[in-house]
Amino acid sequence: MPKSIAAQISPARSRAVAARVGLVLGLAIAVCFLTGLISHWIQHPPAGFYWPARPVWLYRFTQGTHVISGVIAIALLPVKLWSVFPRLFARPLLGNPLHMLERGSIAILMGAIIFELATGLLNTAQWYPWRFFFTTTHYAMAYVAIGAVAVHLAVKLPVIRAALSRPLSEREPEQDGSRSRKEPKSPAARGISRRNLLGIAGGGAVVGGLAVAGQAVPFLRWVSVLAARTGDGPQGVPVNRAAVEAGVERAAKDPGYRLRVTVGGKAREFGIEELRRMTQTGADLPIACVEGWSAGVHWSGVRLRDLLGAVGEYRGGSVRFGSLEQGGLYRESVLPHPHVVDDATLVALRLNGEELSLDHGYPCRLIAPNRPGVLQTKWLSRIEELA
């Protein structure tokens, strides 16, 4: 299809729109990439990576932002694609090497972005209709996507700058082809206007963002039709992986339950009554799932430092938490030093003033400040300082 015809069908298919939507889309993708990196690094810390224990809400913020910026990108992508669509198939399809390189990079760009947004969105819904492991693939592909965005921006910079420097409604060079010269002056004459298209893009981004924001921002809950988890769940807090799913019901309710703590070369076992008799500390800490939902919770239980101190001398290393859960990817977590010594890090026994429900980790669970939910191990069975 000659591009001038596409331009006549709707002048909104334009560089003017593509550049403007692309700018915001690029920004959303950059924010999504950076917040995603943070989340990945906390879960798989590279050498030298440091993530603080304070402020306690920081991960809740970065991961909420990750999912919201991803959804905003999902809302903008179709508009951006639509605005350049005819150009993707402009002839000749195969031109000089430079031209082919650009084509190839756009194919990779679109593939990677669509893959990232689609897998991310499905993950927030806990739906995994694929065979690969979400985390590693989503992470690896993120580099492909951001690399392709960088190349695309570099290649298109002159076009983008020119498009942004002209008024939104100005005719574009390629619309002045032989056919379009006879067209009315105003680009808004046919189909949707550029202004309206930008309005739709912006509106879609806002609606999309709001539709998921409520799972992280309590006062937006009522508008969040897409929020995977809201306030539902036992004790007013959502659950990820219930006790039955984890197969821990019997072991958790067993009167012979013991928590084994090893530190400074010494080991000791605690029954639930013993833990209850120790000094109880309270802390307001969010559960912030990597899937983007989060909830503020008041916890109480034994401060980790106190518990370690009751066994032996903590030497400053990381501490590993093991669950009663036998299978499952999240039956263990490793807590780095800043969180181990933080006042708010608890082996929690209570949540919002009640004993932990089975689904929230009874008899006891780890809760530490500024950590992804996936590392807040439930149904603890052992705690050990690593060498």
Using CB under 6 A, pick the residue from 35, 215, 323, 370 that binds ligand MTE.
323
Nearer to Mo ion, 302 or 374 (CB): 374
Task: Report H helices in the chain.
Answer: 3-9, 15-43, 58-88, 97-124, 134-165, 194-213, 243-246, 249-253, 272-277, 304-309, 337-340
Using CB under 6 A, pick the residue from 246, 302, 307, 348 that binds ligand MTE.
246
C-beta of 40: minimal distance to ligand MTE in Å? 15
Q: Binding string, 151-190, against Mo ion, x = CB under 5 A? A: ----------------------------------------
Taking the C-alpha atoms of residue 355 and residue 148, their distance in angstroms, rounded to an integer, is 50
The stretch among 139-147, 265-273, 343-351, 371-379 that binds Mo ion (CB under 5 A) is 371-379
373 binds ligand MTE (CB under 6 A): yes
The stretch among 136-144, 174-182, 190-198, 284-292 that binds Mo ion (CB under 5 A) is 284-292
Footprint of Mo ion on 188-247 (CB under 5 A) = 240
Specify the residue for token string 């105003």. 186
Q: Taking CB within 5 to 8 Å according to partner kind, which of Mo ion, ligand MTE, none is near residue 145?
A: none
42 binds Mo ion (CB under 5 A): no
Q: Taking CB within 5 to 8 Å according to partner kind, which of Mo ion, ligand MTE, none is near residue 237?
A: ligand MTE
Q: Which residues of 157-171 are buried (b: 16+ CB within 10 A; e: fewer)?
A: eeebeebeeeebeeb
CA distances from 161 to 30, 90, 231 (A): 19, 22, 45
Largest CA distance in the chain: 88
Taking the C-alpha atoms of residue 198 and residue 19, their distance in angstroms, rounded to an integer, is 11
Taking the C-alpha atoms of residue 226 and residue 214, their distance in angstroms, rounded to an integer, is 9
227 binds ligand MTE (CB under 6 A): no
Specify the residue for token string 């809400």. 57
240 binds ligand MTE (CB under 6 A): yes
Footprint of ligand MTE on 324-363 (CB under 6 A) = 325, 328, 330-331, 360-361
- Closest of 258, 333, 334, 346 to residue 302, by C-alpha: 346
Sign of the CA dihedral 133, 139, 145, 151?
A: negative
285 binds ligand MTE (CB under 6 A): no
Q: Which residues bind Mo ion (CB under 5 A)?
A: 240, 289, 373-374
